[in-house]
Every structure is written in structure tokens, then in C-alpha cells.
Structure 1
Amino acid sequence: MRDTEQDAQRLLNGSVRRSYDSAVDIDWDAPLEDGKYFLPPNLSALYDTPLWHRMTPEQRIELSRQELANLLSVGHWFENVLNQALLRMIFDADPASRHTHYALTEIGDECRHMLMFGRLIEKIGARYYRQPRAQLAITSSLPRRLRGLHLWVGALIGEEIFDTWQRKIMDDPGMQPVVRRMMRIHVVEEARHIQWAREGVARRMRYASWWEKETIGRMVGFGGQFFSDQLVHRRIYARAGLNADEAYRQAVANPHYRQVKQEGFDKLRRFFDEQGIFRGKARERWRQAGFIA
């Protein structure tokens, strides 16, 4: 398709102008700064809860370290899934097409991002978070399922919500400098990936079958709770030295964190509304997961 090739060429041009290599664009040897957070306090799932008000500044900083390590771990497995799906997409595609070239460019970007996430987990003195067996079984099956409209919608769910939070992190002077730098690099390169996925959704919705639209429109509803379960779980609080059960109960019931999730999802929700993505009970499922007011 001519539009597809033109879109891909434009994104390829952008990749030439603005791409990074974290091995040289991040000062990994610079020491961490005392008293600085790893995530903004108001993005924490425990922010403004009774437990939060009992915590010392040192405990809050340690919690932010663990929450960042978890966020990076989620980003690592998501980009792994996306890369596998993109490789499947272009397996029998024309190797001379610009669409294939941009897919390969994005795969390269995502490989560098995965490396960057891993190095940052190590830099901040944390350990990665392995998914529980049940979640891992779902995640490992995704590359075979993400095709067509499913691929583009799945990519946006994994990219746009994080992007909203990343933009807040990179502009916050209270953050560790290495964290702000990594987020800025990721925001710049993910902007192209988000644009490609949005164009993919809009294009696919113009000619997808009724069955494809209905299938993804209903299945997308399960993404909210699955996504939420990756962000808030007891292991984060146990590693931060807190009472894991108490912290988890307060986090999932925290009205402030529901607002954080809603702000992160709002831009994507509006795009899904414009494209007519939600079908059946999908919107209600995202509301139950706390991403829609």
C-alpha cells in the first residue's frame, strides 16, 4: 500500500535524525545522588495512603527504587514480546519495502531499550522482577497472537500508558539524573513507535473484517486488569521492606493511584474511542481495573 510505504519512509527519516545508543548517551559511571528518588513520589501506588505517611524519606526512596525496577522489568518483557511479533509479521514480507525496513529499525530500537532497561536495573542496585508462572504463560503466548489489528492495539497499550508517566519522570528535577536521561531517550524513540502503531490501527480499522474488529474490541477489555497486575503486586513491597499484604491492600484501594492510572490511559482511551475499538464489555473492564473514571 502506498500510504504504508510513505508512512514508513517518514519514520525511517526520523530514525536517522534522532536515535540514541545508551552505551554512549548515558553516563553509566556517574554515581547515584543521595536523597533523590527513582520515580516521582506522586506516581507511587502508595502515595498519600496511611502507610505512606508513616514511612520515612529513606523508605519512600527505597520504595521508588523497587517500583522503578518493576516498571523496567515490565518494559523489558513487553518489548521482547513486541519484537517477536514484529519478526513474525515480516517473516514473508518484501525485504525491499520501507514497511519492512521500519519494522527492522523498530526492532533494533527495542533491543537497545531492553539493554538500557537491564543496565539501569543493575545501576540502581536492584533486581529484575520475574513474572509469576500464570502470567508468564499468558505473556509467552502473545507473540503468536499479536497479528493485524491485535498487534497495533497491543503495542499501543504497552507503549502509550508508560509514555505519559515517562514524560513526567524526565522533567522532574527530584529524580536520579541517570533515570531522567534514560526516560528522555526512551520518550524520543518511542514517539516514532507510537505514531507507527496509531497509523497501523487507523489503517487497519478502515478495512478489517467485522469479526476482527469484534474480536479485538472485546479482548482488549482484559488488558486493563492484566496490565494493572504487573504494576502493583506484593513482591515490590516485600523487597522494599514493608508489610507486603498491608501495602498491597492500601495500594489497590488508593484513589490517588486510580487517578494516576486514569491520567496515563486518558490519551489512549480517547484514541480508542475515535477509532471505535471498544466492543462489548471492554470499556467496563478497563473501568473496573481503575483506568477509566
Structure 2
Amino acid sequence: MTGAIAEDRDAATAERDDMANRLLRSSEELSYDPVEAVDWETPLDTSFHGASPEWSTLYGTSYWDEMTEEQRRALTRQEAASVASTGIWFEMILQQMVIRDFYAKDATDPAFQWALTEIADECRHSIMFARGAAKLGAPAYRPKRHVIELGRVFKAAAFGEAAYAAILVAEEVLDVMQRDWMRDERVVPFVRTINNIHVVEESRHMKFAREETRERLKGAGPLRRRINALVVAGAAYFIVTSMWNSKIYANAGLDEQRALREAKDNEHHKAMLRSSCAGLMEFLDSCGLLTREATAFYKRAHLI
């Protein structure tokens, strides 16, 4: 029995090393330098949207029907900047969790080297998002104060499958949106380039997060799964509900209070979020991380 367990562990280690080496090779072959790849010099063309209109929080509402095309484009530019700013906030959390997880581990391990590669990617992405938001004419959108403080606690306390599953949740939601935006010719070209870079490079990060989540859950009992399911769902709720800052409407020249009311009741936007998370929820369920308590949080965030 002991020999069989050792063989299983050796096989799992070899498989993990192989995956990390493949991710490292992929990173060497297909990565971008946003400083060179993105057109930062051309002035913003306001005849374009900042995101696909169908992803706007007001799309499908009576307010949207009343807005001029100029107002709609101004709103989607602010929305894209807000989503990018939330991405920066969570990428800062992600980097700290990964560094803490690999602190003082074997530096010759391919997974260790991949973790550092991922952190380097996230640093570039955060700078790219920041420059993109500035070019869209947006301020530095930040989550609400209590969410920022909860983020401090989460990045210091989350470990193992809770950390990697939360990373996956944030990246999966962004991935689906950005795949739409990068193909949409109504979206300003430099934002399409930013989205393309992020989608390509984050696909590797998501694969690693999925495998790490499965690996860390091996042997986990029901109580541990239930606790971590709730932690991940709570993190998902605060990440997604922070993506669209309440100030985007006033900054787009709209009536903030009316916009907030209509966005809150916008069934189209809720449906877009749910459809974007179908694959993610299936994965969490397969890992035992979609408990009744966790599902309540996902429903509140309109992810299920």
C-alpha cells in the first residue's frame, strides 16, 4: 500500500512538472510587451466604445434607449476603465497570495519558476490596465473601503485551494467579457489589443489555477471543502460587485441615481454574467466547491 501511494505521488509530481514546463514554454513562445504591442501614442478616438455595448450595465434598459450614441460610448469607456481598475486591485492580491504560497520553496521546481513567470505577467498587466484606463479618460476607480479592507484580510489569510479557486473566479469572469471585447470592431483598437494580450496570457494562468485547485483539494474532507467553498464564493461576490464602480455614470455625464436604479434591475446584464460563468460553476461543482451556502453568494452576484 505504501509503495502504491508513493508511486501515485511520483506520478502526480511528474504530471505537475510537465504542466509547469509546458506553461513556461508557452510563455516563452507567446507573450507580449504591452509597451510595444499597444498603441499608446494615437489620441483616443471617441467614436469608439470602450467595451462591447451588450456588456454595459445599462444595455437593455429604458435609460439606454434614451441615451445618444455619444453617451453610450462615453459610458462603455468608463465601464471598461472600471473593470480594468478592479482587475488591478485583484491582481495585486493575486500576486501576494502566489508569492506567499511559493515562499522558500524549491526554486528548481518548474512550478516555482512558473509562479514567478505568472507574477511577472500580472505586473505587466496591471501597468497595461492602468495606462489603458488613463487613456480612456477615467479616474482611478477603486472598490469601496470595506471591500479594500476585506481584500487585505483575504490576501493575508487565504491559502491552498481557496486562494487558487478565487484567482480562477476573477480571471474566468474577465476572460469571457474580454473575448467579446477583443473581437468587437466597435471597441477602440487599443482596448482590443489590451484585451487580446490579457486573454492569451491569462489562459495559462487559469490552467495553472485549475490544476492547483484540484491538487490542493486531494484528500480534503467535507468540512474543509464547505469552508473553502464559502470563502471562494464570498471573494467572488466582492470581486464581481466591485467591477462597475458607482461613479462611472456621473463621469459619463449621466444621472447617477437613475442609472444605479436601472442597472440594479437590469436582467440583461445579470443574464450576461450568468452565461459567462457556466463553465466556472461546472468546475467548482466538480471540485465540491459549489455548496448550498456558496451558491447563495453566487446568486447574489448574479453568477448563477
How many Å separate the matches in 1 of 2:105 and 2:222? 25
Identify the residue that residue 204 of structure 1 maps to in structure 2.
216
Identify the residue that residue 160 of structure 2 maps to in structure 1.
148
1:135 aligns with 2:143: no
- Match for 1:261 among 273, 284, 290? 273
Deviation at 1:9, TM superposition (A): 0.9
**Which blocks of at least 5 consecutive residues in structure 2 are unaligned?**
1-12
Bigger mean CA offset, 207-216 vs 140-149: 207-216
Contact 1:233 1:248 in 2 (8 A): no
How many Å separate the matches in 1 of 2:236 and 2:130? 25
Bigger mean CA offset, 217-226 vs 38-47: 217-226
1:125 aligns with 2:137: yes
Runs of 4+ in 1 over 3 A off after TM superposition: none
Once the two structures are superposed, residues 22-71 of structure 1 have per-residue CA deviations (whole angstroms, 9 ceiling, x without a partner) of 01111211233341101111100100101111111111111111101100
How many Å separate the matches in 2 of 1:114 and 1:265? 23
How many Å separate the matches in 1 of 2:115 and 2:240? 28
How many Å separate the matches in 1 of 2:30 and 2:232? 32
Aligned partner of residue 247 in structure 2, secondary structure: helix
Identify the residue that residue 123 of structure 2 maps to in structure 1.
111
How many Å separate the matches in 1 of 2:252 and 2:298? 28
How many Å separate the matches in 2 of 1:79 and 1:224? 14
Identify the residue that residue 193 of structure 1 maps to in structure 2.
205
How many Å separate the matches in 1 of 2:23 and 2:237? 32
1:164 aligns with 2:182: no
- Give the TM-score of the pair, scaled to structure 2: 0.92
Aligned partner of residue 105 in structure 2, secondary structure: coil
- Match for 2:21 among 2, 9, 24? 9
Deviation at 1:233, TM superposition (A): 4.0
How many Å separate the matches in 1 of 2:84 and 2:158? 22
Contact 2:20 2:110 in 1 (8 A): yes
Identify the residue that residue 221 of structure 1 maps to in structure 2.
233
How many Å separate the matches in 2 of 1:283 and 1:130? 26
Deviation at 1:268, TM superposition (A): 0.5
Deviation at 1:269, TM superposition (A): 0.8
- Match for 1:276 among 259, 270, 288? 288
The alignment covers a number of residue pairs equal to: 292
Identify the residue that residue 10 of structure 2 maps to in structure 1.
none
How many Å separate the matches in 2 of 1:120 and 1:71? 11
Identify the residue that residue 4 of structure 2 maps to in structure 1.
none
Contact 2:142 2:245 in 1 (8 A): no
Contact 1:40 1:174 in 2 (8 A): yes
**Which blocks of at least 5 consecutive residues in structure 1 are unaligned?**
none
How many Å separate the matches in 2 of 1:118 and 1:220? 26
Aligned CA distance change for structure 1 residues 78 and 41 (closer, same or farther; 3 Å): same
- Match for 1:97 among 104, 109, 118? 109
Deviation at 1:266, TM superposition (A): 1.2
Once the two structures are superposed, residues 169-206 of structure 1 have per-residue CA deviations (whole angstroms, 9 ceiling, x without a partner) of 00001110000011001100000000000111122222
Superposition pairs of residues 58-77 of structure 1, within 5 angstroms: 58-77=70-89
Aligned partner of residue 117 in structure 2, secondary structure: helix
Letter in 1 for 2:30: R
1:82 aligns with 2:94: yes
Contact 2:237 2:297 in 1 (8 A): yes
Deviation at 1:218, TM superposition (A): 2.4
Deviation at 1:167, TM superposition (A): 0.3
Letter in 1 for 2:209: A
- Root-mean-square deviation (CA, aligned residues, Å) is 1.4
Aligned partner of residue 218 in structure 2, secondary structure: helix
Aligned partner of residue 283 in structure 2, secondary structure: helix
How many Å separate the matches in 2 of 1:56 and 1:147? 47
Contact 1:232 1:252 in 2 (8 A): no
Contact 2:45 2:188 in 1 (8 A): yes
Aligned partner of residue 48 in structure 2, secondary structure: coil
- Match for 2:36 among 14, 24, 41? 24
1:286 aligns with 2:298: yes
How many Å separate the matches in 2 of 1:124 and 1:214? 41
Bigger mean CA offset, 8-17 vs 121-130: 121-130
Deviation at 1:249, TM superposition (A): 1.1
